[in-house]
Chain A
Amino acid sequence: MIQSLARRKRAKVFISYCALVPFLVFFLFPLYWMLITSFKTDTEITSLKGVPLIIQGKPTLAHYKKIFFETAYVTWFKNSFLIAGLVTIITMAISILAAYAISRLRFFGSRHFGVGVFCTYLVPPTLLFIPFYKVVGALGLLNSKWSLLFLYPTLTVPFCTWILIGFFSSIPKALDEAAFVDGASYIQMLWKVFLPVAAPGLIAATLFAFTVSWAQFLYPLAYIYRENEMVLTNGIYTTLIRGDVYFWGELMAGALLASIPVVVLFAFLMDYYIAGLTRGTLR
């Protein structure tokens, strides 16, 4: 009886692994396809002979060399880092203060304000990019990467504030009372108790702010046409396609390299990311 239970359990695991395989193939195939393409020579990419699913000829780094030395790729990378980094800092500063005030220092209208934050977090970029075009233009920031510096926070701040409200609210009330009795001011309470205790939430929010900024495509595509001001997403897309000529090798190399920072961040901070995502959505 016991043996058969154990055997059944093992069978269940085995079947589950089998069922997982199609999903993994579906999820990973495009990435694999991008990866091998980026190492194939141009002739092999366009050749119709043989099996395209493997690298048949000699792998080459030509595409990587080309994006690094013949395009503005390095500049885009720098721009992406600069913008995503600054946006993250701005986002965290705004979100931490707001989330702390909303979740703890109850003030007139704080509940409604929380709902308002949630609603703005549901506003997708496609809804407002047209009026933003005028706003960006009025500020003289068309064709400038700095325009992104105040557009991205409209996407990151509401979400980060929302998940931080969640994390802050889960800190037991007695903890601030203890700090209060211990003689902490509101700022000391935030700095010395809330931030360290809600560290997982802060990590998650930081990660979100960075990845969302890194991945944004519509805003840079709509407002930035000068190559040196571009970020990775629109840079790769707009400059590696010349009319009908697609530089597949360069495109794949550029897209993969550009994905690495966020995927690596995710790999190291997966648990925080998932906790933040599920709590931000479900609370």
Chain B
Amino acid sequence: MAKVILENVSKNFGRVQAVKNFSLEVDDQEFLVLLGPSGCGKSTTLRMIAGLEEVTEGKIYIGDILVNDLPPRDRDIAMVFQDYALYPHMTVYQNMAFGLKLRKRPKEEIDRRVREAAEILGIQELLTRKPRELSGGQRQRVAVGRAIVRQPSVFLFDEPLSNLDAKLRVQMRAELSKLHNQLRTTIIYVTHDQVEAMTMGTKIVIMKDGEIQQVGSPMEVYNYPVNVFVAGFIGSPAMNFIPATLVQLEDGVWLDAGNFQLLLPPSKAERLQDLKERRVLCGIRPEHIQDKAFASKRPKGSTIEGIVEVVEPLGSEVFLSVRSGGHTLTARVDPQTRAKPNEKIELVLDTDRIHLFEQETQRRINTE
């Protein structure tokens, strides 16, 4: 039960700066997700919190204690590794008990805590098995169990679900969320999978090239991405980006994308008075583009025409790649669509949900 604070933390590997001036406060009981593509420094950050990497500059506090110089065992943390790192020569029970045994806890206490943890995770029957006799999901659970047993004030997860198959991953996601509710402990979780971040995190930190891009709740980062990178990283399929120019006409502010124009809703236009003739990037998520023929209610927004290139039916929905002028847009439409490759289609873009970014700085233009 502790806060974790990072103050201007940097990490250099030789000349490469893996983490740059990273400052963050993780509240007690938070489920914080460090999200970013590989090589963005998220794992390095986690390993510095764990004490597996030395901090080049800055300070890390766990609870109220400066831990820069403490070895992992004195930091009151537990970690779950990507490939689980279970001791192959020990049984599940011994794996879970190892940390407590090294701390010379009495036998009865160890036994009680191992069994409690096993019960929470539903692995009581596996206690006498060796890791190699377990399935991937079971190993995952044991790895989590090994962390729980220690009753640390902070849990660290390093991409723990990336070795599981898709179905198990969904299941473990739910279980980890449940576990967080049950244990009420601070969790710091590293992943490159934005779905994991969105579904489990109470707060998401999006990183790129060793720097924080945005910190916020899942819905915040989804609805108000601060820059093009975050906008493109969160959401699947990824947001469409269309280079355009802002044009003020009598009837309002228009986005001129070359072969089509979009009229911005007045609420957004108000904020854009001083941006006339500016080059911008217009971002719109696939779920905010509809097939006009099947748009459920009266279509809201602007209509554009295009040629269907690819149709990807997923059952519950259909992804369309539509070419319109020089742009290819991905749309996530109703499964009833009759779109066929190489045929014309009319799409409705929900202009209320449009995101605008400055083309030069890639930053969000605030329209709310």
Contact = CB atoms under 8 A, between A and B. Distances in A.
Interface of A: 172, 174-175, 177-184, 188, 192-193, 196-197, 199
B85 A183 contact: no
Contacts of A183: 72-73, 99, 102-103
Given A177-B81, A180-B72, A193-B87, 18 more contacts: A174-B85, A175-B87, A177-B52, A178-B81, A180-B52, A180-B71, A180-B73, A181-B51, A181-B79, A182-B73, A182-B98, A182-B99, A183-B72, A183-B99, A184-B102, A196-B89, A196-B90, A197-B87
Contacts of A172: 83, 85
A265 B87 CA distance: 29
SS of B interface (majority): loop
A1 to B, nearest CB: 36
Contact of A181 (B72, B82, B90): B72
A32 to B, nearest CB: 42
Q: Provide the main secondary structure of the chain A interface.
A: helix
Contacts of B73: 180-184
B87 A181 contact: no
A244 to B, nearest CB: 59
Interface pairs A-B: 3 shortest CB-CB: A183-B73, A182-B99, A174-B85
B88 A178 contact: no
Interface residues of B, number: 25
Interface in B76-126: 77-79, 81-90, 98-99, 102-103
A128 B282 CA distance: 78
A178 B79 contact: yes
A181 B103 contact: no
Which residue, B50, B71, B102, has most C-beta atoms of chain A within 10 A?
B102
A180 B82 CA distance: 16
A128 to B, nearest CB: 39
Contacts of A180: 51-52, 71-73
25 contacts: A174-B84, A175-B85, A177-B50, A177-B52, A178-B79, A178-B81, A178-B86, A180-B52, A181-B72, A181-B77, A181-B79, A182-B73, A182-B99, A182-B102, A182-B146, A183-B73, A183-B99, A183-B102, A184-B73, A184-B102, A196-B87, A196-B89, A196-B90, A197-B87, A199-B89
Interface in B44-58: 50-52
Given A174-B81, A174-B83, A181 B89 contact: no
A179 B71 CA distance: 12
Q: Which residue of B51, B77, B79 has the most chain A CB atoms within 10 A of its CB atom?
A: B79
Given A177-B52, A181-B52, A182-B73, A188 B102 contact: yes
A178 B83 CA distance: 11
A139 to B, nearest CB: 42
Given A182-B73, A183-B73, A177 B85 contact: yes
A182 B83 CA distance: 16
Nearest to B97: A182
Nearest to A182: B99
Nearest to A183: B73
Contacts of B99: 181-183
Nearest to A178: B85
Contact of A174 (B82, B103, B150): B82
A181 to B, nearest CB: 4
